[in-house]
Amino acid sequence: MKPFTYIAPGSVKEAVAALHENGGTARVLAGGTDLLLEWRRPGVRMPAVVVDISRIESLRRISLEGPDILLGPLATHGELMRSGVIRSGAAILASAASTIGSPQIRNRGTIGGNIMNGAPCADTVPPLIALGATVTLSSADGTRECHLSGFFNKPYATIATGEELLTQVRFPALLPGTKASFVKLARRNALSISRLSVAAVVSVDDSGLITDARIVPGAAHSVWKRTMEAENLLIGKAPSATLFAEAGRVVSAVVIKETGRRWSTEYKEPVIAALVRRTLEKCFTDNDGHPS
Amino acid sequence: MNVTVALSFTLNGKPQELDVPPNMTLLTLLREEIGLTGTKRGCDVGECGACTVLLDGRAVNSCLVLAPQVAGREVVTVEGLAPLGTLRPLQEAFLDHGAVQCGFCTPGMLMSAKDLLDHTSEPSTKEIREAIAGNLCRCTGYQQIVEAIEDAARRKNTAR
């Protein structure tokens, strides 16, 4: 790892001031599970300045505020997995966090890092988009809040400028009657990177009809997006194996249409369809949504 | 550019104060500056778990922690398990069950097991397997390691 100037601010104010002073060329360090690997790769362009935000205690919170769950960017995957607030209000996020890396990685890796690194395989992002998450960016000029669904430009690139710090993630806790699940396909059980994943959040009314659906495939598109075509297919209908299989085929067709047919299509086409079907089925058998 | 930064933290219960280059990892600090070589350097990319230490009571890969990031925090290495030369029940259980073969993964396995046992009083076999999912053993003595941790949990509960 090449040398750099190290700054460890004690507050958000100091952190954004440091980012501003360095004209957006500094790099923000949180848990370090991605960056410490990147910085040791041969030939990598090392940032001249590293702003370590890990000492800013106010960025660690996991809390419920009215109908919303608020997360500080330093909340680790392990803390999300174990948090009562997350397990009761957004179990789908706890489940997704539990599939990341190993216990050691989950004890260091943060939700802020997972979002800001912008890797298409980031496992917390599909559930967060399905939950309707927004993110708050802070800079010396003030703050702005954006929808996570519009936050990514391309793999490893977000709309945040180099002077902005992610300071909060906010989403509504799941309401009664809301079902959710996350399914990940990877090569092995531990320390595995998502090949494909699917997050789904489905609301059902008293008569059992689907009133709202959000389906977000992970590691499939260049940037994450909800598959509205499949969501619209589900709304107003009763859950059934046939319906879920059809939704799977629709998601698969949408992904293939965007990425184009390539060597992996023969594999991906049936696999995406099956993963979506399984994720929707799991909403009704092994629900990670509202406990009621 | 700051060549070194002042760092103070607690290591195995004792305060440490030293100057470190900011681009040094916790693993290098422990092994090469402080001389505690119980923590092993395996893959150096956070996959093998040989470098596992406890940071504020939780297992982490010390190869993925920047040394200055432990400022004000508490680090426990395998040397901290038996500071007076007397083995802990967890370490005794590893010996009794033949859970140590070449021994390279053992410090990391012990630290992951300690995190589990400190937070879960009666872990299931599944929980034990998940707790050591980030620790590779190339002698593949996993079964003995799992049995040792199960036994250590029992010994801990009996002693309580």
Q: Shortest Cα distance from A104 to chain B (angstroms)?
A: 4
Report the share of chain B in percent with pLDDT over 70. 99
The per-residue pLDDT of chain A, averaged, comes to: 94
Q: Is pLDDT at B115 greater than 80 in this prediction?
A: yes
Distance from CA of A213 to the nearest CA of B (A): 32
Inform me whether the pLDDT recorded for A218 exceeds 70. yes
- Mind listing the pLDDT tens digit for each residue in A13-31? 999 999 999 987 899 999 9
Residue A137: band (very low, low, confident or very high) from pLDDT cuts 50, 70, 90: very high
Mutate to test the interface with B, among A29, A41, A104, A105 (most CBs of B within 10 A): A104
Q: Which fold has domain B89-159?
A: DNA polymerase; domain 1 (1.10.150)
Architecture of the CATH domain B5-81: Roll (3.10)
pLDDT confidence tier of residue A169, bands split at 50, 70 and 90: very high
* List of chain B residues whose C-beta atoms are within 8 Å of the C-beta of residue A103: 59, 112, 115, 130-131, 133-134
How many inter-chain contacts (A to B, CB under 8 Å) are there? 93
In whole angstroms, what is the distance from residue A36 CA to residue A23 CA? 22
Residues A3, B21: C-beta atoms closer than 8 Å: yes
- Nearest by CB to B23, which of A2, A108, A190? A2
pLDDT of A95 > 80? The answer is: yes
pLDDT at position B160: 65
Residue A102: list chain B partners with CB under 8 A.
Answer: 46-47, 49, 133-135
Contact A178/A203 with Cβ under 8 angstroms?
yes
CB atoms A36 and B63 under 8 Å: yes
CA distance B98 to chain A (A): 24
Q: What are the contacts of A155-161 at 24+ separation with CB within 8 A?
A: A155/A118, A155/A119, A155/A120, A155/A222, A155/A223, A156/A117, A156/A118, A156/A119, A157/A118, A158/A115, A158/A116, A158/A118, A160/A116, A161/A24
Minimal CA–CA distance to A59: which of A69, A47, A71, A67? A71
Q: For the whole prediction, is pTM greater than 0.90? A: yes
Kindly tell me if the per-residue pLDDT of A292 is higher than 70: no
Check residue A203 and give its pLDDT.
Answer: 95
Distance in Å, alpha carbon of B158 to nearest chain A alpha carbon? 27
**With pLDDT > 70 as the criterion, what percentage of chain A qualifies?**
100
Q: How many CA within 13 A on the CB side of residue A91?
A: 16
Amino acid in the structure at residue A197 = S
Please state the domain extents for chain B. Answer: 5-81, 89-159
Angle between helix B142-159 and helix B89-96 axes, rounded to 10 deg: 140
Contacts of B66 in chain A (CB under 8 A): 29, 32, 36, 52
- Residue A97 and residue A103 in contact, taking contact as beta carbons nearer than 8 Å: no
Q: Does A192 touch chain B (CB under 8 A)?
A: no
pLDDT surpassing 90 at residue A192: no
> Could you tell me the two tokens for A205?
């009314």
pLDDT at position A214 is 97
**DSSP per residue, A96-159:** HHHTSS-HHHHHH-BHHHHHHH--TT-TTHHHHHHTT-EEEEEETTEEEEEEGGG-EEETTEES
Domains of chain A: 5-52 (3.30.43), 57-172 (3.30.465.10), 196-285 (3.30.390.50)
| C-alpha count within 13 angstroms, C-beta hemisphere, residue A171 | 26
